[in-house]
Amino acid sequence: MIPSLDGFPVIIEVPVRWGDMDAFRHVNNILYFQYFESARIEYFHRIQAMEHLEETGVGPILASTQCRFRFPVTYPDTLWVGAKITELGDDRFTHRYLAVSKTHDKVAAEGDGVVVAFNYHTNQKAPIPAKIKKRILKLENDLKENNR
């Protein structure tokens, strides 16, 4: 386990590509939002959110996101990107993201995203389905129990 990612139930590995760098010779800041998105989608996969969306029309939608850039990453490198839920409400939750450079063992970027449960049939927010909430709590709590 990567020490700075302790407490993150979802961790993905993302190779930095040559084309990810910008004119300033480090990973372009917009890419971190894509890295966070990949971790978020893996989280959704683990809680079967997309299957639930297909069955019921209720699924996640990103309401807001932000990022703080901490350390410039360059090619070649690999990032470990973690996702966890820090707040769970009736109709939304907050994801916390952390991107860690494997080469430098440093946090490259950190961010948050607010995800709202959304009914795609009525185009309105909805309560987080009980099934999904239960899966979120299980994923988050399984990690805590395994780290004891």
- What is the per-residue pLDDT across 19-54, written as a single tens digit (0 to 9) for each? 999 999 999 999 999 999 999 999 999 999 999 999
Locate 20 and state its tokens. 């990810």
The enclosing H or E element of 92 equals strand 92-101
Position 75 in a domain: yes
The domain in which residue 79 lies consists of 3-143
> What band does 144 get if pLDDT is binned at 50, 70 and 90?
low
Position 87 in a domain: yes
Query: Measured between alpha carbons, how far is 110 from 20 in angstroms, rounded to an integer?
Result: 18
Is the pLDDT assigned to residue 3 strictly greater than 90? no
CATH number at residue 10: 3.10.129.10
Looking at residue 142, its pLDDT comes to 85
Position 73 in a domain: yes
Question: Whole-prediction pTM value?
Answer: 0.94
Query: Measured between alpha carbons, how far is 8 from 13 in angstroms, rounded to an integer?
Result: 13
Q: What is the DSSP letter of 20?
A: G
The string of pLDDT tens digits covering residues 55-111 is: 999 999 999 999 999 999 999 999 999 999 999 999 999 999 999 999 999 999 999
User: 88 to each of 10, 45, 127, how far by Cα in Å?
Assistant: 16, 18, 11
